[in-house]
Amino acid sequence: MTKNKMKWCLTRVLPPKLIVKLMMIKPYYETELGKLYHGDCLEIMPKLEPVDLVLTDPPYGLNKKIHNGGTWSTAKKYDAVLEWDFVPNKRVFKVIFNISKNQIIFGGNYFTSFLPVSRCWIIWVKPHFPTMSEIDMVWTSFNKPSKPIYFKRQNPSIHPTQKPIGLIIQILSKYAKDEWTILDPFLGSGTTAVACERTNRRWIGIEIEEKYCEIAAKRIEQEVRRPSIKKLERNKNKIKQLKLSDLKK
């Protein structure tokens, strides 16, 4: 039975909300705090519950435009980037705004035709990085003054556009509440998910390339196994809850 025929059959006996849940794609990987989905974010996002914040770094569409400064147009290791580095279409941003209350989007200056005017830009200043851009312009939906964040750029060892975990943690600490659910529809090698695990936040990640899903899953798994103050606090709270439930018996 095809997927469309199955959906048609279900509509005759089940309510729409339940049908959506039944047709949802199975997570590629999941933890206590989050889920990683493999697939096109345009297909997966409409099936998700609303989230508090989308924090993401979409392809900028630079592709083969980089000729002066940097090595993207010449280095063999970046050949794959030139194949997928195209600006997402308008529908992607429309779905992002529909599914989330707040948004933080890296490379916002490349998407000005899709994004509304914002008072609050994050300017990521990358000291001592002379061969390519020394700043990243990060668009946000917040009604706050624009602020710089100074954080050294790391050499991407896993994904060509990989961001430092410390940078994402710093952004989360300044703009996201602890209880928020964070969605990254362009998860790449999983940095946003790792940062959320480290700070005890709920997360959802979507990645279209399976090789990066595998890499992200391994990184997240390593983080889950890594001891941290936040995790110890979470475990203590669980123990307290168990003791209280015992007392109520």
Q: Which amino acid is at 247?
A: L
Does a structural domain hold residue 16? no
pLDDT value at position 18? 43
- Most confident residue range from 13-22, 57-66, 83-92, 226-235: 83-92
Does a structural domain hold residue 11? no
Does a structural domain hold residue 18? no
The pTM (predicted TM-score) of the whole model is 0.77
Maximum pairwise Cα distance, the chain: 70
Does a structural domain hold residue 136? yes
Does a structural domain hold residue 5? no
C-beta separation of 137 from 121 below 8 A: yes
Residue 152 binned pLDDT confidence (cut-offs 50, 70, 90): confident
pLDDT, tens digit, for every residue of 78-104? 555 445 446 778 899 999 999 999 999
Does a structural domain hold residue 1? no
pLDDT, tens digit, for every residue of 156-179? 566 677 889 999 999 999 999 999
Average pLDDT over residues 61-79: 51
| Tally of structural domains, the chain | 1
Examine the pLDDT at 150 and tell me if it is beyond 90.
yes
Does a structural domain hold residue 14? no
Average pLDDT over residues 170-191: 96
How many Cα atoms sit within 13 Å of 140 on the Cβ side?
22
Examine the pLDDT at 10 and tell me if it is beyond 50.
no
The CATH number covering residue 55 comes to 3.40.50.150
Residue 153 binned pLDDT confidence (cut-offs 50, 70, 90): confident
Residue 137 binned pLDDT confidence (cut-offs 50, 70, 90): very high
Q: What is the domain range of residue 195?
A: 28-248
Residue 249 binned pLDDT confidence (cut-offs 50, 70, 90): very low
- Contacts of range 153-162, beta carbons closer than 8 Å, 24 or more positions apart: 153/126, 153/129, 158/189, 158/215, 158/219, 159/188, 159/189, 159/212, 159/215, 160/72, 160/77, 160/78, 160/80, 160/81, 161/57, 161/59, 161/81, 161/188, 162/188, 162/189, 162/191
Does a structural domain hold residue 22? no
C-beta separation of 36 from 188 below 8 A: no
